[in-house]
Every structure is written in structure tokens, then in C-alpha cells.
Amino acid sequence: MSANLDESHEVALMEVGDEAPGVQHRQVGLNHMAWRMSTLDDLKEFYTRLTDKGVSSEAHDHGISIGIYFKDPDGNGIEVYYESPRDEWHSQEKILCMGTILKDNFQDHGMK
């Protein structure tokens, strides 16, 4: 991240090559980065573009959100997700009920 006054967030990515050392045992590392989509339709379009380009991905329905997980060419985990508006969250006695966003919205996109 950088402090660029013209942008809210900025990430610089660079290739380090096959000889670069990986994360060492007991060293802090990165699990994944996540980007939130504004709408469910935006997430569907993103998933379709990944699929059309042959990118392997997994979708996970978290009830209040759905995430598409994939790896960049260097093996870093990336999540692109959509979170339902709070007024659509369902709860029962303070227990958040997991929904069916994936099943209800992505079957027509070849996702199970």
C-alpha cells in the first residue's frame, strides 16, 4: 500500500522470479487479498470472465456473502466477493443463518 493522495488505495505487484525465497516456517505470510464487488451482477460477470479465460476458481457461500477464490500466476490467493445488504441478513435468536446465495444465483453460470 502507498500513500498516494490521488488514489484511495494502491497496490504494486512485481514479479520476483523463481529463485525468490518463499515464506519461511513460523514467518508471517499472506493468506489472500480480497476485493469487494458493488453488486451480485458484478461478481457474476467477474466469475464469467475468469471461467472464459480458463482460470480455476472455487466459490464459497458464506450466507451473508459469496466469495470467488483463485490464485494469481505467482500462487497468491485472491478473493473477489459480494456481501448482501444487512437488511437481507437472516438471523434466529442471535445466530446468523447461512443462506443460499451461491445456489440461487450462480447455477446458470455453471457453478454448483
Establish if 79 belongs to a structural domain: yes
Establish if 99 belongs to a structural domain: yes
Contacts of 112 (CB under 8 A, 6+ apart): none
pLDDT of residue 44: 92
Q: What is the pTM of this model?
A: 0.60
Q: Which of 95, 70, 96 has its CA nearest to residue 81?
A: 70
Strongest mean pLDDT among 5-14, 51-60, 77-86: 51-60
Q: Which of 106, 83, 96 has its CA nearest to residue 34?
A: 83
Domain containing residue 38 = 32-109
Domain at 90, CATH number: 3.10.180.10
- The predicted model gives 35-64 an average pLDDT of 91
Mean pLDDT of the chain: 76
Cβ pair 69, 57 in contact under 8 A: yes
Q: Which residues pair with 89 in a beta bridge?
A: none
Cβ pair 43, 62 in contact under 8 A: no
pLDDT of residue 101: 54
Report the number of distinct structural domains present in the chain: 1
- The predicted model gives 93-107 an average pLDDT of 55
Tens digit of each residue's pLDDT (9 = 90 or more) over 67-99: 999 998 878 889 999 988 877 776 655 555 555
Establish if 54 belongs to a structural domain: yes
Establish if 39 belongs to a structural domain: yes
